[in-house]
Amino acid sequence: NAGVTQTPKFRILKIGQSMTLQCTQDMNHNYMYWYRQDPGMGLKLIYYSVGAGITDKGEVPNGYNVSRSTTEDFPLRLELAAPSQTSVYFCASSRTSGEVNEQFFGPGTRLTVL
Amino acid sequence: AQSVAQPEDQVNVAEGNPLTVKCTYSVSGNPYLFWYVQYPNRGLQFLLKYITGDNLVKGSYGFEAEFNKSQTSFHLKKPSALVSDSALYFCAVRDMNSGYSTLTFGKGTMLLVSP
């Protein structure tokens, strides 16, 4: 049982490049989330999903896209990378919605856009 | 709208002393409240949660938190701090009466426990 896994761990992008951050969970959780963490700012929700085929915007969705074709996977896509997207990205999952059940977090992806 | 405030950027405590990390919240209804801990270069780990019932909630690693509705607070406490408790701590809240919504996290408080 690996929990929530994220790849890559680190990445440096040039402005305008695109990439996909991968997230997989093996706990059969319906709910999955993407957050970004900036120093002194806590975690901001980018997108979330309540099940395969269903996604919705969080607090800071601009510049990102997601898809959820399976229960296990929830990739995050950056189409045109900008310096403002330099951050640490965390994927999380929970058995049902996060208001009652705790979220399980992956180890994070540290992204730098130059 | 729901919000959470962690008024201290950093808390310093000596090993063996009690520690408190403060959290206050704002919701329109009744809250669900969580504490998470983040060790360097790691994801967040769940510590404890308040859903309903007893105002004193016990969690992992000897931590506990006290829910105070009149003061809208949910402070994290531990009777005797360890150097290994040094980490970044996040409080999170969700308004249980707001329909489906997600957690709102505070900015985090760095806890430094000195030997």
What's the pLDDT at A15?
A: 97
Phi, psi angles (nearest 5°) of residue A11: -160, 140
pLDDT (tens digit per residue) in A13-39: 999 999 999 999 999 999 999 999 998
Chain B residue numbers touching A2 (CB-CB < 8 A): none
Is the CB of B45 less than 8 angstroms away from the CB of A99?
A: no
Residues of chain A below pLDDT 50: none
Q: Is-contact B114 B45, C-beta < 8 A?
A: no
Which of B109, B90, B22 is closest to A43 using CA atoms?
B90
What's the pLDDT at B101?
A: 59
Hey, how many other C-beta atoms are within 10 angstroms of the C-beta on A5?
14
What's the pLDDT at B100?
A: 55
CA distance to partner chain A, nearest, from residue B32 (Å): 6
Phi, psi angles (nearest 5°) of residue A87: -175, 180
Is the CB of A45 less than 8 angstroms away from the CB of B102?
A: yes
Q: Tokens 């970044």: give the residue.
A: B88
CA distance to partner chain B, nearest, from residue A70 (Å): 21
Chain A residue numbers touching B96 (CB-CB < 8 A): 99
For residue A52, the number of C-alpha atoms closer than 13 Å in the C-beta half-sphere is 8
pLDDT string in tens for chain B (115-residue length) = 788 999 999 999 999 999 999 999 998 888 889 999 999 888 899 999 998 888 999 999 999 999 999 999 999 999 999 999 999 999 999 866 555 557 889 999 999 999 9
Please list the residues that pair with B90 across neighbouring strands.
Answer: B36
What's the pLDDT at A11?
A: 96
Name A98's Cβ contacts closer than 8 Å, sequence gap at least 6.
Answer: A31, A33, B94, B102, B103
CA gap A31, A89 in Å, rounded: 17
Please list the residues that pair with A75 across neighbouring strands.
Answer: none
Is the CB of A99 less than 8 angstroms away from the CB of B41?
A: no
CA gap B23, B36 in Å, rounded: 12
What's the pLDDT at B78?
A: 97
Chain B residue numbers touching A100 (CB-CB < 8 A): 32, 51
